[in-house]
Amino acid sequence: MSTNRRWRPLLAAALLMASVGALPTAAWAASVQPTTYPGNFAGCDDLPGVGTWQGGGASSGGAPLDGQVYNLGNGQTITFNYTPSGQNKFIGFTSTIPMDYIVIKGGNAYNVFHYDPAVLSDTNLYAPNNASGEPAGVSHVAFCFLPKPTGVKTAEASWKRYTDWQIDKTVTPESITMLDGDSHQVEYTVTATPTTRGLYRVAGTITVKDPFSFGWKATAVVDTLQFNNSATQFSLQWTAAGGDTDTLNCVKPAPNADKIILSCTYAFELSSISHPFLLSATGGINAAGITTERKSCSCSDDGSSGSTTSYTFTASAPFTIPANPAESYGDTFAIDDSILPNNPDHSFNLGNGPYVWKYPRPQPFVCGADEGQHTNTATGTWSTSASTNATASDSAMVTVACRTVSIIKSANTRYDRDYAWTPDKHVVVSPADAKVVGMQGCLPDPIVGGTYAGNFLCEDVQVLLNAGGNYETVYRLAATRSIESESGFRVSGNILITWPGDVTPQFSPADPSDTLHFNGGATQAVVPTCEPPGATSLSCDYAADVADKTAGYNEASIQRVLKCYDAAGNASDCGFKSYTSNQAAFSFGAPTTEADACVVASDLFNGTPGLNLGNSFGWIVEPLVCDSFAKFVTGDINPDPGIVESLDIFAAWILPTQVGPGNTCEFMVPNVLTVSGIGEAGGVNASDEAIITVKVPELCAAAGCTYTQGYWKTHSKYGPAPYDATWATIGEDTLFFSSGQTWYKVFWTPPKGGNAYYILAHQYMAARLNVEAGATAPPEVQAAIAQATAWFTGRSTAAPKGAARDTAINLAGILAAYNEGTIGPGHCSVSPATIIDAGT
C-alpha cells in the first residue's frame, strides 16, 4: 500500500478552484531540469522508474489555486503560488518538508522535477509544452517527499603526560637464625623506576535527528578516527540490534522537541606507548557513518505490513592536537614505608635519578618477640589526574628463626633399710571354750570375718576332754614386719644442656649451678661435674648426700652471653640470659638396699622336752616371707607321709604318772612359731609360743564332760571328723528302735516340719553316747533317758501330735541341756575346726 494514499482524503477536502489570467510569454527556469513523460499522472506511486514510493505525498486532484496550502500531516504544509500570479502555467512551492519530487501535469503529458538533495522551495515549475510550443496549463500537481534524517558531530583533541612508577624492595639479610634474646639489624633498599607516556584523547558527540518526525530510527553508528601522520584507523561502534560489542555510548531519547532520535558520546584515548606516531601527530579527521531505517505501510494504518527503507550518511569533524599537554601527572613518586613513622617517608622527583633509597630497620629484630616472618612493604604514590592517584608496592620479607637452650635434669634417690620382725602365735578357740577357766592372753573380741568368724584368739588355753576324746586344734600363725632403721640418703642425677646445631651459645660461667629444694623451705647447693661441651650439648652429673628422706625438687640453671648483630652479621656482647631447668622432683620411695626384708617362717611342735606331744616335729610355714602375714593352720600340715600329719590332740596322750588320785589329770601341748633371717649373720631370729593345757578329769574320778549331738554325728566311723571309740559301745549300724533306720542314719535325718520324733532322737542318742563316754548323768537326765526309751519303744518315725509331741519336746529339752553342758558335768572342749566340719 502506498503511503501517499492516506493523504488523499485530506487533500481533496482542501482543493480550491480558481481562474487564472493569461501568462506572459517568457523563458521559464526551475532549479532542476524536469523529465517529461506522456500520459496522465495519478500520484507518487506512479513515479517513473521509482516503483512503490516509500515516502509521503499526494496529488492535488486539480490545478491548485494561487496560495493554495495543503496539509502534509504532523503540522507540516506545502503552499503553491503562481509566478507571476494571474496565470496557470508557471507555478512554485514553499514547503516545511524538503521535497524529493514535484510533478506538474498539463495537456497530455507531465514533467517530473527530481530534487537530490530534496529542497524546501522552488519556482517556475511547468507542464510539458503543448501544440502551442509553450507549457500547457497546470491541470494538477503531485508532491512526493521522503524526509531524511540528519547528523552532526563534534571532535576535540587534547593530550596529557603521565609518568608511571615501578618499585622494588630488598632487604639484607633475608634470613636470620639466632638464640632467644639475641638481636639482629637489617638494611632495606628501595629502588624506583619511572616510565613516561602521553595519553591522547579525541572526544565529542554524534547527534542524529529525524527533523520531520518521519519515523526514521537509527540502527548503527561507526565512528572512525585517523591521524594525519598515520594510515592507522581507530573505530568505535554501536548497533541497535543488541548482542554486538558496543563501544560507543549511544542512547535513544524519548520523543523530544528537537527531533533527536540518537545521541552518542565518544572518546578515543590512545597512549604513545602503544602508538608512538602520536608523538608527532598534529591533528586528523573524525567521521561517523550513520545507518537509519524506516518502515512504510501500504495496506492499512496499523503498520502491520509494508517495506523497510534504509538510509546511510556521514557526519565528520576535523580536530587539532595542541602543542603542549593540558596536564602532566606523576612527576613525584612519594614512598610510604610500613615500618617508618612519616608519611611520606621518602620522595623521588622525575629527572633527579638515580632512584635508590637505603635505610636500616628502626629497631633490630629480637629473638623471642620477633620470631617468624616479617614482611615490610614500601608503597609509592603518584598522581594520575587532578583528583586521583595510583600506587605501586613491593615487599621484602625477613625470616627470623629463634633457637633456645634447653636444660633438663633428672633426680634419683637411694637409701638403705633394715627390718625387724615380730612373730605372733595364737590358738583359735570356740566361744564355749573361750569361757574355760584358766585361759591366758586371749584377745577380748572375737574374730571378724572369714572361716573362723565369731571365735577367739588365745596365746594359752585350757581344754576339757573325756578319756577317749580329742581336740582338733586351729592355730593362727602371724608375723609383723616393721622398719628398724634407715640410712645412706642420697640424691643424684644428670643435667643435660642442649641447643640446635645451627647456633653456638657462649656460657658464662661455663658450668651450670644446681640447688636442692626441700619441702619446708630448706635448700642445699650441689656442685655438678661436667664433661667437655659438644657441638650441640653439655652433660653434667651430680650427687649429694642428704640428711633424711625429706622430699623436694632439684633445679639447675646456666647463664648465656647475649649477642647483638649488625646488618652485616658482626656480633657484639650485649648482656646475659639465664636458663632454668625443670624442677626434677625427688622423693624417697622404696629403699635401694634392704636387710632382713624377707624371712623364713617355721613352726615347731613339742619343742619342750618331757611334754606329751610325742616325737617333736617342725615344718616351714612360708619359705620366703617379705611382708606381714597371718594364716590359719589345721588338719594336715604336710602331706609327706614321714611327718606327723594331724594337729589333733588326744586325751590318750596323758601319761600314767599324771592320772589317779592326787594328780591334776592334765598335760601341756606347746607350739612355737619362728621367723629367721636369710643368710645374714646377726639377722632376724624371733619366736612366739602358744600352749594348750589339756585336762582329762574323768581319769581323776571326776564327772567327765559332754558333747553336743553335732560332735557325735561327725565323729562316727563314717566321719568326717576323727573317730571317737565310744561309738563302738553302741554301733553306728545298730537299728534305732522301730524306726527301720540305723543310729547313724537317724542322726543325719533332719526333723522336717518340726518332727518331734527326730528332735528327741538326736538329743537322746547324744546323751546315751555321753554317758557311754564316762560323763556322769544327774538324776533328772537319767529319768529323761528312761522315759525316752519307753516313748520310742514300738513307735514309728511319723511326727507325733498332741500329748505325745509335747512329751517328746519336753524330754528333748532336758537332754539338750545335758549335752550342751548347761546341766551335768559340763561341756567338753570342741575346737572351731570340729564345729565347722560338723556343720553345727
Rounded-to-integer distance, Cα 817 and Cα 812, Å = 9
In a domain, 365, yes or no: yes
Q: In 240-345, which ranges are E strands?
A: 249-251, 260-271, 283-296, 307-320, 327-329, 332-337
One domain, residues 315 and 334: yes
Residues 176 and 114 in one domain: no
The side-by-side arrangement of strands in the sheet containing 332-337 is: 175-179, 389-403, 372-383, 332-337, 346-349
C-alpha to C-alpha distance for 550 and 588, rounded to whole angstroms: 8
Provide CB contacts within 8 A for 55, sequence distance 6+.
Answer: 3, 4, 44, 100, 144, 145, 146, 147, 214, 296
Angstrom distance (rounded) from CA 730 to CA 662: 33
Q: Assess whether 182 and 285 both reside in one domain.
A: yes
Give percent above pLDDT 90 in the chain: 63
Confidence check: pLDDT of 807 > 90:
yes
**CA distances to 537, 667, 692 from 638, in Å:** 64, 25, 21
Domain membership flag for residue 189? yes
Shared-domain flag, residues 142 and 153: no
Q: Inter-axis angle of helices 779-792 and 802-819, to 10 degrees?
A: 140
Q: Return the half-sphere exposure (C-beta side, CA atoms, 13 A cut-off) of residue 46.
A: 20
Is pLDDT above 70 for 639? no
Query: What per-residue string of b and e applies to 176-202 under the rule 16 or more CB within 10 Å gives b?
Result: bbbbbbbbbbbebebbbebeeebbbeb
For the chain, the C-alpha Rg in angstroms (whole number) is 71
Q: Is the pLDDT of residue 641 over 50?
A: no
In a domain, 479, yes or no: no
Q: Which residues of 388-423 are buried (b: 16+ CB within 10 A; e: fewer)?
A: eeeebebebebebebbbbebebbbebebebbbebeb
> Structurally, how many domains does the chain consist of?
4
Q: How far apart are CA 691 and CA 789, in angstroms?
A: 43
Lowest-pLDDT range, 91-100, 155-164, 700-709?
Answer: 700-709
Q: Which of 213-227, 263-277, 423-437 has the weakest average pLDDT?
A: 423-437
Q: How confident is the model at residue 838 (pLDDT cuts 50, 70, 90)?
A: low
Residues 518-528 have pLDDT tens digits of: 999 999 999 99
E-state strands within 107-216? 109-125, 140-145, 150-153, 156-172, 175-179, 183-184, 187-209
Indicate if 128 and 199 belong to the same structural domain. Answer: no
With respect to residue 425, please indicate whether it lies within any of the assigned structural domains.
Answer: no
Residue 154 CA to chain centroid, in angstroms?
A: 67
Does residue 663 surpass a pLDDT of 70? yes
Nearest to 232 by CA among 273, 278, 266: 278
- Asked whether the predicted pLDDT for residue 448 surpasses 70, the reply is yes
98 & 170 share domain: no
3-state percent breakdown (helix, strand, coil) of the chain, nearest 5: 15, 45, 40
663 part of a folded domain: no
CA distance 374 to 398: 5
What pLDDT is recorded for position 7? 28
**Which phi and psi (to 5°) does residue 729 adopt?**
-75, -20
Give the domain range for residue 816.
706-824
| Residue 29 confidence (pLDDT) above 70 | no
**What's the rounded Cα separation, in Å, for the pair 624 and 419?**
15
- Contact present, 165 and 380 (Cβ < 8 Å): yes
pLDDT surpassing 50 at residue 13: no
Q: Do residues 120 and 265 both lie within one domain?
A: no
Query: Kind and range of the H or E element at 584?
Result: strand 584-586
802-819 helix and 756-772 helix, angle to the nearest 10 degrees = 30
pLDDT at 821: 86
**Helix H or strand E encompassing 148:** none
Over range 819-831, report the average pLDDT.
86
Residue pointed to by grid coordinates 639447675: 556
650 C-beta neighbours (distance < 10 Å), count: 17
> Lowest-pLDDT range, 22-36, 147-161, 809-823?
22-36
pLDDT in tens, 70-99: 999 888 999 999 999 999 999 999 999 999
Q: For the chain, how many residues are written?
A: 840
Whether residues 175 and 89 fall in one domain: no
pLDDT of residue 529: 96
Residue 95 belongs to some domain of the structure: yes
pLDDT at 25 over 50: no
Residue 411 or 617, more confident? 411
Q: What is the DSSP letter of 152?
A: E
Q: How confident is the model at residue 8 (pLDDT cuts 50, 70, 90)?
A: very low
Q: 325 to each of 111, 157, 198, 322, 554, how far by Cα in Å? A: 61, 11, 8, 7, 83
Average pLDDT (810-827) is 91
Residue 649 lies in a domain: no
Q: Which residue has the higher pLDDT, 144 or 658?
A: 144
* Residue 474, pLDDT score: 87
pLDDT at 102: 96
Q: State pLDDT tens for residues 717-759.
A: 998 887 888 999 999 999 999 999 999 999 999 999 999 999 9
Q: What is the reported pLDDT for 621?
A: 80
User: Are 303 and 157 in the same domain?
Assistant: yes
C-alpha cell at 333: 613518586
Same domain, residue pair 50 and 156: no
Among residues 540, 555, 584, the one where a domain terminates is: 584
Vertex 127 angle, CA 123 and 131, to 5°: 135
Q: What integer pLDDT is reported at residue 22 of this predicted model?
A: 35
- Exposure of 332 by Cβ count < 10 A (0-12 exposed, 13-18 middle, 19+ buried)? middle
pLDDT of residue 10: 25
Task: Give the model's pLDDT for residue 607.
Answer: 64
Residue 77 lies in a domain: yes
611 has pLDDT over 70: no
Quick one: pLDDT band at residue 672, thresholds 50, 70, 90?
A: confident
Residues 85 and 117 placed together within one structural domain of the fold: yes
- The rounded mean pLDDT for the chain is 88
Q: What is the pLDDT of residues 584-593, one digit of tens each?
A: 999 999 999 9
Write down which residue in 584, 604, 627 finishes a domain: 584
Looking at 147, 180, 206, which one is the last position of a domain?
A: 147
Residue 2 pLDDT greater than 60, yes or no:
no
HEC string for 358-417: EEECCCCEECCCCCEEEEEEEEEEEECCCCCEEEEEEEEEEEEEEECCEEEECCEEEEEE
227 beta partners: 284
Same domain, yes or no: 213 and 257: yes
Residue 11 pLDDT class (50, 70, 90 cuts): very low
Pairing of strands 440-442, 474-498: unpaired
In which residue are the cell numbers 482542501 written?
14
